[in-house]
Amino acid sequence: MKEIYLDNNATTRVADEVFEEMLPFLREQYGNPSSMHAFGGRVGRAVSLARERAAAALGCVPTEIVFTSCGTESDNTAINSALTARPEKRHVVTTKVEHPAVLSYCKNLEGKGFDVTYLGVDREGLLDLDELRDALRDDTAVVSVMYANNETGVLFPIPEIGAICRERGVPLHTDAVQAVGKIPIDLSTLPVDYLALSGHKLHAPKGVGALYVRKGTPFRPFLIGGHQERGRRAGTENTASIAALGKALELAAAGVGHENTAVRALRDRLENGLLAAVPDCRLNGAREPRLPNTSNISFKYVEGEAILLMLDQFGICASSGSACTSGSLEPSHVLRALGVPFTFAHGSIRFSLSRYTTQAEIDAVLAELPRIIERLRVLSPFKKGGPEPLDEKPPCTC
């Protein structure tokens, strides 16, 4: 059985063209790009080409791109950089719905005596920009707001947020790991100072990412050592993966149109089909503005884990918005921030498509999932018309 992979916000398959791009650097072209000899220099030119491709895809100049080991490193580096460059500023503004790469880093900063403001979202998952404006202080070192939410796909208005930050002279970092390749991004007009992206979310391999740093923005390296990346990120370059990322970004920029037509149409087919076929289900987060590939749907009275296990039997890969921790099912921090009621939050499933998703795959999900939900509801202790469970942590049955 061939799996139906609808978990592309977790990770993606490496594109064939990207794989081909890597091979020389895993075999014969193993030189160190920093070496003086021509053998290393050839590899150095491949790294330069990747940087040029990345810059062309994002609308910036190559020297503004720093290659890193992942999206997490890019996020950590941006925030750390802003704080380290201006040590008198000890305040960070972010949101409650960030990926752990930003959220956990900020929690960690609080433990070190920094001050962090976490902006909430409304029921649609959207920010109140007046609240953001009010949160900015004279000692705010950086604002870190994600471009697209990995769980719901909801987009934040980064152009407007950037304009607000500019007015106050505060640098803006955006975690664009889920946005790159799915919506158009043009850094020549987008008012952001740092932007993080990750290879494995856009059909390059795991373990490579990039951080855009606008020219003139204060920067301090996170990894300290050799002079690689013009002294901005020490460590011998992961040449094969950097070449891969360059190629993947070129493909991503060329594929944004396809994402917003073909992929969006398949996502809508899945979403509308499920909402019509299954009673008591709802979409989590705003319908628009949203990534074209993501759909987060809650099925009332059932647990996400149970749905995933049943889907798995049909080879269907998706993910759920709750994690079983210490014997209780904890709904995701994102769905909680949206105020999704517990009875819905527990049965939430995220479907995330890619350019490789086919209509036959979507139709297979539409054929199986309504039956799965029906069967699980028969077994559920919570039934329609029965007593409503309290809106607090229910016991875990997994």
Active site (catalytic) residues? 324
Burial profile 127-136: b = 16 or more Cβ within 10 angstroms, e = fewer: beeeebeeeb
- CB closer to ligand PLP out of 79 and 376: 79
Among 198, 241, 298, 343, binds ligand PLP (CB under 6 A): 198
Sites for ligand PLP among residues 349-378 (CB under 6 A)? none
In whole angstroms, how close is the CB of 319 to ligand PLP at the nearest point?
11
CA distance 205 to 244: 7
Q: Which of 7, 21, 175, 237 binds ligand PLP (CB under 6 A)?
A: 175
- Name the DSSP class of 259: I
Q: Which is nearer to ligand PLP, 200 or 247 (CB)?
A: 200
- What DSSP line would sit under 269-282, residue for residue? HHHHHHHHHSSSEE
Rank residues 60 and 70 by Cβ distance to ligand PLP and give the closer one. Answer: 70
The full DSSP string for 308-376 is HHHHHHTTEE-EESEEEETTEEEE-HHHHHTT--HHHHTTEEEEE--TT--HHHHHHHHHHHHHHHHHH
The residue count for binding ligand PLP (CB under 6 A) is 15
Nearer to ligand PLP, 72 or 332 (CB): 72
Kindly tell me which of 75 and 303 has the beta carbon lying closer to ligand PLP: 75
CA atoms within 13 A on the CB side of 136: 19
Is residue 296 close enough to count as binding ligand PLP by CB under 6 A?
A: no
Q: Does 121 contact ligand PLP by CB under 6 A?
A: no
In angstroms, give the least distance from the CB of 11 to ligand PLP: 8
Least gap, CB of 334 to ligand PLP (angstroms) = 10
Q: Are 149 and 139 in contact (CB under 8 A)?
A: no
With contacts defined by CB under 6 A, name the span among 70-78, 154-162, 249-257, 345-353 that binds ligand PLP: 70-78
Look up residue 295 and give its two tokens: 């759909």
Among 70, 165, 202, 204, binds ligand PLP (CB under 6 A): 70
Amino acid at 207: G
Kindly tell me which of 245 and 310 has the beta carbon lying closer to ligand PLP. Answer: 245
Instruction: Report the residue from 46, 65, 155, 177 that binds ligand PLP according to the rule CB under 6 A.
Output: 177
CB of 282 to ligand PLP, least distance (A): 23
Distance (Å, whole) CA 294 – CA 304: 17
Name which of residues 200 to 259 contact ligand PLP (CB under 6 A).
200-201, 209
Residue from the set 12, 72, 77, 95 that interacts with ligand PLP by CB under 6 A: 72
Q: What does the per-residue mask of binding to ligand PLP show for 101-120, with x meaning CB under 6 A?
A: x-------------------
**Other beta carbons less than 10 A from residue 165's beta carbon:** 25
- Footprint (CB under 6 A) of ligand PLP, residues 136-155: 146, 150
Interface with ligand PLP includes 321 (CB under 6 A)?
no
**Residue 306: partners with Cβ closer than 8 Å, 6 or more residues away:** 376, 397, 398
Bridge partners of residue 322, in order along the sequence: 331
Q: Is 318 exposed, middle or buried (0-12, 13-18, 19+ CB in 10 A)?
A: buried
Gap between the Cα atoms of 184 and 180, Å rounded? 7
Q: For residue 169, is it left (φ>0), alpha (ψ between -120 and 50) or beta?
A: left
Query: Which residues of this protein are in contact with ligand PLP, per CB under 6 A?
Result: 70-72, 75, 99, 101, 146, 150, 175, 177-178, 198, 200-201, 209
